[in-house]
Amino acid sequence: MMKKKILELDRKHIWHPFTQKKNCEDPIVIVSGKDEKVFDIDGNEYLDLISSWWVNTHGHARAEIIKDLNLQAKKIEQILFAGFTHEPATSLAEKLITLLPNKLSRVFYSDNGSTAVEVALKVAIQYWYNRGKRKTKFLAFKGGYHGDTFGAMSVGYSSGFYGPFKDLTLDTTFIPFPETWEGDNKKYEKEKESLNFVEEILNDSPDEIAAVIIEPIIQGASGMKICDPLFLDKVLKRFKEKNIIIIFDEVMTGFGRTGKMFAMEHIITKPDIVCIAKSLTAGYIPLAATIFSESIHNEFVDTDFKKTFLHGHSFTANPLACSVAIASLKIFEKNNVLNKVSQIEKIHKKGLDFLKTNIKVSKTRLIGSIAAFDLIGADQKYGSKIGNKIREQFLKKGLLIRPIGNTIYLMPPYCIDNKTLENVYSILDAELKNI
Ligand SMILES: Cc1ncc(COP(=O)(O)O)c(C=O)c1O
């Protein structure tokens, strides 16, 4: 189909996410991808520096993944997951569990990050209910984002995306998140404030709290905000002592983004529940999982049907998606991908040190494959004009980035060529001078 026709149909029939149609440019028509690049219908190429919304891990059009996907498609593409099971789902569960701390042993599949979180929240509430207790309040960190379904919106309300839904959300208390960056001299003050806040809550009403949810170490959608893992350990220990269920939302951080397979490996205290999605399938097919400790799962195993978790999705544990996730994990092992992530981290470090000399750059921060900084003097709000302007300016230079307010970040697929990534920093430096 011609570009003109595609755009005509798009304008007429498509409703794009996170997009204000009134003043947006026509979208770019993408026709293909290869490794860290995607190509548009006019033959322009773009470096996918945000892994297509943080999902692509090993690059686009990976032959190994396509092969396993094809093989599975020839066997069975979909089967309901109540009363049936299959090898891709069971093998994947086994592989995930060997990668996670041994406490986490039960996998519940769903379709995306929001549903993985929704499952975690519902299970937390029903876990207490099955034990004869009514606990429906949640704790979360200010600015955290957990998805767009109602439960996820509730615990992510302070991220600022959900104005129209105020008053329709679950009761959630938001703990100050002590974000920090290189050269930050207020780190300890912020951590203290946060710890004091937690103590107050724990003194007040710990018995009503079903669970606490956190994006471990780095908050993504609120602007790649990082806290110290040692701080997290301190608060998490307190929640543990009070018997509050701990949920880690590793939807963004999972699968190597922070330099370890899961961000929880940077932290001593382990969660009772973990949510994964995005890179689980390397960006090829939607799939998510919420993984529970055996003791949580046991509260649902009973002769009383009322204790069953009555929740599920049509595509739960889709065999194609599970086979792709297994193919992705094979690449992690075979190509020692975490080693490549540490090379990326080193390039980011050098690049950020270089960018720090640019007068427009502040608050540089880095963990694993994620590097971020803020633009001094720019509007911090999500969807700000400056963010869109920068995005368009960089697209013209062949760099696919998507600032969050005044935060620019890089999170490339792990297959990115080292020299290519080094070069990105020179382009960034030159272009920022033109803003
Ligand atoms: C930490 C986190 N949790 C949950 C979600 C929601 O995931 P999805 O967009 O797949 O529903 C996101 C999405 O960006 C996320 O970053």
CATH number for the domain harbouring residue 156: 3.40.640.10
Two tokens at 103? 């406490």
Q: Is the pLDDT of residue 309 over 90?
A: yes
- pLDDT, averaged across the chain: 96
Task: Say what the pLDDT of residue 358 is.
Answer: 85
Instruction: Taking each helix axis as running N to C, give the angle between helix 385-396 and helix 418-433, from 0 to 180 degrees, rounded to the nearest 10.
Output: 130
* Shared-domain flag, residues 293 and 252: yes
Atom of ligand 1 minimally distant from the CA of 114? 11
pLDDT in tens, 206-249: 789 999 999 999 999 999 999 999 999 999 999 999 999 999 99
For ligand 1, which residues put their CB under 6 angstroms from it? 112-114, 117, 145-147, 215, 220-221, 249, 251-252, 277
Burial 91-117 (b: 16+ CB within 10 A, else e): ebbebbeeebeeebbbbbbbbbbbbbb
Sign of torsion over alpha carbons 18, 321, 289, 409: negative
- Which ranges in 59-112 belong to alpha helices (H)? 63-75, 87-99
DSSP 79: -
Q: Determine the average pLDDT of the residues in 21-36.
A: 94
Closest CA to 126 of 245, 276, 250: 245
* Shared-domain flag, residues 234 and 276: yes
Atom of ligand 1 minimally distant from the CA of 250? 1
Task: Say what the pLDDT of residue 2 is.
Answer: 95
* Shared-domain flag, residues 295 and 381: no
Two tokens at 42? 């006019």
Parallel, antiparallel, or unpaired: how do β-strands 245-249 and 209-214 relate?
parallel
Atom of ligand 1 minimally distant from the CA of 219? 1
In degrees and rounded to multiples of 5, residue 221 shows phi and psi of: -65, -20
* Shared-domain flag, residues 163 and 239: yes
Contact indicator for 328, 281 with CB cutoff of 8 Å: yes
* Shared-domain flag, residues 288 and 313: yes
Q: Is the pLDDT of residue 204 over 90?
A: no
* Shared-domain flag, residues 231 and 376: no
pLDDT in tens, 108-124: 999 999 999 999 999 99
What angle (nearest 5°) sits at the alpha carbon of residue 216, between those of residues 355 and 337? 65
Task: Say what the pLDDT of residue 61 is.
Answer: 98
Query: Residue 45's domain spans which residues?
Result: 3-61+337-433
User: If you take atom 7 of ligand 1, which residue's CA is the nearest one?
Assistant: 113
Contact indicator for 230, 267 with CB cutoff of 8 Å: no
* Shared-domain flag, residues 106 and 146: yes
Looking at 281, 316, 333, the residue that finishes a domain is: 333
* Shared-domain flag, residues 327 and 346: no
DSSP 341: H
pTM: 0.97
The CA distance from 201 to 373, in Å, is 32
pLDDT in tens, 313-366: 999 999 999 999 999 999 999 999 999 999 999 999 999 999 999 889 999 999
Contact indicator for 277, 308 with CB cutoff of 8 Å: no
Contact indicator for 252, 278 with CB cutoff of 8 Å: yes
* Shared-domain flag, residues 419 and 372: yes
Looking at 317, 333, 349, the residue that finishes a domain is: 333
Two tokens at 217? 């170490």
Look at residue 149 and give its three-state secondary structure. coil
Radius of gyration from C-alpha coordinates of the chain: 22
- Number of structural domains the chain divides into: 2
